[in-house]
Amino acid sequence: MSFLTPAFFLGLLAIGIPVLIHLTQKEKKTIIDFPSLMFLRKIPYTSVRRRSIRDLWLLLLRIAALLLMILAFSRPWFSSKSLAASLPGSTREVVVLLDRSASMGYGDHWKKAQTEAKKIMDGLSGQDRGTLVLFGSSAEENVRATQDRVRLSQAIDAAKVGAQATRFGPALRLAQSILAQSAMPRREVVLISDFQKIGWEKQEDIHLPEGATLTPVSVGGGDTADVAVTSVTFARNQFSGQDRVVATAGVMNRGAKPIVDLPISLEIDGHAVDSKKVSIAPNAASSVAFVEFTVADANVRGKITAGTPNVAGADNWAADNAFFFVLSPGRPVSVLIVQPDQAEKDASLYLSTALGIGEAPKFEVETIPASRLSGAIVDKRAVVILNDVSVLPTGGADILKRFVERGGGLFVGAAANAKWSESEQTALMPGVLGAPVDRPSGRVGALGFLDYSHPVFEVFRSARAGSFSGVHFFRYRTLDPKTNRVLARFDDGGAAMVERKIGGGHVIAWSTSLDSSWNDLVTKPAFLPFMRQIATFLAGFQNADAWQSAGRALDLTSRVQAAGAVSNETASAAKAAGQDAPSAAAAAKRIDGVVSTPSGERVSLTDNGRPAFVELGEQGFYTVRLTGERDSAKPLTVAVNIDPAETELTAMDPVEFVAKVTGRADAATAAKDKAPTDVTPADAEKRQGIWWYLLLLGAGVLVLESWLANRLSKGPGVISAPQVGS
């Protein structure tokens, strides 16, 4: 046992006071009053009494009370972990938040962080429990609430720096949840990080449980020096039917020293294409344009790398020296317009003209009569538009259904000629078509509801994109949506546009004409963006990003569902060909694919009716191979980079950070850079709180002493007075 304030032991001298009181007590006599003593001669009275201790237990109680008080004020604490852990209220719930974001790869930050984390876990004793949380832009429990220090230490050793950005909010909210469920008397959070400023957002709402402490451990600090490739832009042009691209890289010098002739290189599909040199001033940026190259195939992989600066100590982080990207040729979206055989040649003129204008995306439009509809023609398209088609050719509904299930988009304009059979409507339509509705004479209809949350109408939130307020509808078909999503309604409540999802694709029905016969939409400014938005959505077109930032999730749901539809089609073909049941079942088995990560790990994808997501947690190239896709489909490749904002290494003060999170700078954060494992005597004594129990015990002894003294002071011929030792 050690003592925080041993000087209080001088108070042991006070133990002599009760002894002196007991040894010097005075004789008390009963006073008898006489009428007059003035004529009596005063005779000196001498009484000699042997000085001895009569009430030994009373003396011992007084000495014990003084000893307990002195011990309490000397603030004792146990240096032995086993003894300290056995004290009431000493068990701890410790949550260690270990930052493994990309910036922790700078210099020796990660090594220092692992060392500090292991010290904290080694400091657990007795019934203490430790939880290890690893975080970047998201947080995960690596080891939950265990007393196994070996397991915790091994988990820390096995952890690696990731490529995600720094976000403190998710980690602190997870710690808040863990501590809220803990019944331990002491709850602590230790945050180990480089404390990047970009990691904290002002609107974060964190409320640690009452009494919980947050201790920061900073492994950063000091001046930082780093060279990073932060962006790449592309300029495209067409030459001899091929895409020609010029890549320009943005390079940042985040150090205090100028960099001269820094080598920057460009690789395409693993082959060196060009190399440049660039000079960058301190804390400044520059750009490098490389030679033009051809993108002739899908998923062309590119990489730009900054070499080693010729200035010593100018770059202490290699991960952000590389930037990855993927490019594909800018091919147009193929749209097939199907119109009735008896329709005039220009029946779809408005429609084809609207789709033919614009470049983002560019639509390649072909118009055919309904009788020419076949699987071979549809198979090459991204979107099929049925412009008031009256009768589908034999098997046409099955052809279109398979097309949609594979991920294609179908748009149905239903006016006077649309007379589909019940089976065809059940197979494809988002609702049941009814009789035409004519507006009363002299009155026109309008759209009374638009679902602006849907991608088709989202662009029309802005008035500049066009408005439907001035569009007049003279006639339309009733459309019962059943359970499908209604995207637009007329002012009388009738459904104008309904969407249905089939497999990996979508069907949208429009219950009026796509020309000027039943409405005047085709003459309004909104018609062009309206049709382009519909075709873009149904095609599943997105401007393919050349790269993604680490920490995001890649949604493969549509692609997996389309692949599953092809697998089912293969199974049906196997059954039709007379294959036995096991072979057909094998063809229908939906092992939908494998994702290969940059580190070489292979992750299986299964549909099972659930969305398929892949977390992009590493820097480099992800490859997605779906077993159900057509043989002609090239595997999807996704490039992942460190978030450019993560390369900004400016740190915040850890104590100020804790004050922002908790609203106070408590004792746990008084020492700026002191790790919680560097326990001082004051910290140890405060955690154990032995003095409090000694003080309570001393008070109890004093109460007992007062009661006993009161009993002994009462007797015949003795005056009861507030004197000790009577």
Comparing 565 with 226, the larger pLDDT belongs to 226
- Find the radius of gyration of the CA atoms of the chain: 42
Q: How far apart are CA 677 and CA 115, in angstroms?
A: 11
Tokens of 311: 């200035």
- Beta strand segments in 363-428, E: 363-369, 383-387, 409-413
SS3 (DSSP) at 109: helix
pLDDT of residue 479: 93
**Which amino acid is residue 540, in one-letter code?**
G
The mean pLDDT of 48-54, rounded to a whole number, is: 53
Global pTM exceeds 0.95:
no
Q: How far apart are CA 118 and CA 183, in angstroms?
A: 24
Angle at 316 between CA 312 and CA 321, to 5 degrees: 105
- Nearest one of 274, 292, 283, 345 to 314, comparing CA atoms: 283
Judge contact between 101 and 199, C-beta under 8 A. yes
- Other beta carbons less than 10 A from residue 454's beta carbon: 16
Judge contact between 634 and 204, C-beta under 8 A. no
pLDDT digits (tens, 9 = 90+) for 122-175: 988 878 899 999 999 999 999 998 999 999 999 999 999 999 999 999 999 999
CATH class of 227-327: mainly beta
Q: How far apart are CA 180 and CA 212, in angstroms?
A: 10
With 50 as the cut, is the pLDDT of residue 320 above it? yes
pLDDT of residue 339: 92
Q: How far apart are CA 65 and CA 698, in angstroms?
A: 5
Give 355's contacts (C-beta < 8 A, 6+ positions apart). Answer: 335, 363, 365, 531, 532, 535
How many Cα atoms sit within 13 Å of 568 on the Cβ side?
14
The yes-or-no answer to whether 92-223+649-683 and 333-538 have a common fold is: yes
- Nearest one of 361, 319, 353 to 598, comparing CA atoms: 319
The mean pLDDT of 394-408, rounded to a whole number, is: 91
The mean pLDDT of 663-691, rounded to a whole number, is: 54
529 dihedral zone (left: phi>0; alpha: psi -120 to 50; beta)? alpha
Q: How confident is the model at residue 628 (pLDDT cuts 50, 70, 90)?
A: low
The dotted CATH code for 333-538 is 3.40.50.880
Tokens of 440: 């009363």
pLDDT of residue 503: 87
CATH fit for domain 92-223+649-683, picks 3.10.20.30, 3.40.50.300, 3.30.479.30, 3.40.50.410 = 3.40.50.410
Angle between helices 581-588 and 557-576 (to 10 degrees): 160
Q: Where are the domains of the chain?
A: 2-81+689-712, 92-223+649-683, 227-327, 333-538, 548-643
Comparing 626 with 189, the larger pLDDT belongs to 189
Q: How confident is the model at residue 44 (pLDDT cuts 50, 70, 90)?
A: low
pLDDT of residue 672: 41
Judge contact between 274 and 247, C-beta under 8 A. no
pLDDT more than 90, % of the chain = 45
Judge contact between 530 and 521, C-beta under 8 A. yes
The mean pLDDT of 473-491, rounded to a whole number, is: 93
Which letter, b or e, does each residue of 396-433 get, where b requires 16 or more Cβ atoms within 10 Å of its Cβ?
bbebbbbbbbbbbbbbbbbbebbebeeebbebbbbbeb
Q: How do 613-615 and 259-268 pair as beta strands?
A: unpaired
Tokens of 693: 């129990």
pLDDT of residue 102: 94
Mean pLDDT over each residue of the chain, to the nearest integer: 81
Q: How far apart are CA 675 and CA 270, in angstroms?
A: 45
- Nearest one of 297, 333, 296, 289 to 542, comparing CA atoms: 333
Comparing 139 with 723, the larger pLDDT belongs to 139
The mean pLDDT of 406-423, rounded to a whole number, is: 89
- Other beta carbons less than 10 A from residue 202's beta carbon: 5
Q: Which residue's entry shows tokens 């006489």? A: 34
Angle between helices 681-688 and 690-712 (to 10 degrees): 60
Q: How confident is the model at residue 723 (pLDDT cuts 50, 70, 90)?
A: very low
Specify the range with the lowest mean pLDDT, choosing from 3-7, 79-83, 127-131, 437-441. 79-83
Q: How far apart are CA 447 and CA 451, in angstroms?
A: 11
pLDDT of residue 724: 40
Q: How far apart are CA 478 and CA 117, in angstroms?
A: 67
DSSP string, 220-267: --S----EEEEEEEEEEEEETTEEEEEEEEEEEE-SSS-EEEEEEEEE
Helix (H) or strand (E) holding 566: helix 557-576
> What DSSP state is assigned to residue 473?
B
Q: How confident is the model at residue 629 (pLDDT cuts 50, 70, 90)?
A: low
DSSP string, 145-187: EE--HHHHHHHHHH----SPPP-HHHHHHHHHHHHHT---SEE
Judge contact between 143 and 173, C-beta under 8 A. no
Helix (H) or strand (E) holding 449: strand 447-450
Q: How confident is the model at residue 604 (pLDDT cuts 50, 70, 90)?
A: confident
The dotted CATH code for 548-643 is 2.60.40
**Residue 181 class from Cβ within 10 Å (0-12 exposed, 13-18 middle, 19+ buried)?**
exposed
DSSP string, 689-723: -HHHHHHHHHHHHHHHHHHHHHHHT--TT----S-
Tokens of 79: 């240096």
pLDDT of residue 614: 84
Specify the range with the lowest mean pLDDT, choosing from 392-401, 539-548, 670-679. 670-679
pLDDT digits (tens, 9 = 90+) for 335-366: 999 999 888 888 899 999 999 887 778 899 99
**Which amino acid is residue 458, in one-letter code?**
E
Q: How confident is the model at residue 89 (pLDDT cuts 50, 70, 90)?
A: low
Judge contact between 384 and 400, C-beta under 8 A. yes
- Nearest one of 135, 126, 116 to 173, comparing CA atoms: 135
- Nearest one of 125, 132, 131, 133 to 91, comparing CA atoms: 125
pLDDT more than 70, % of the chain = 76
- Nearest one of 627, 555, 544, 600 to 300, comparing CA atoms: 544
With 90 as the cut, is the pLDDT of residue 690 above it? no
Angle between helices 527-538 and 349-356 (to 10 degrees): 70
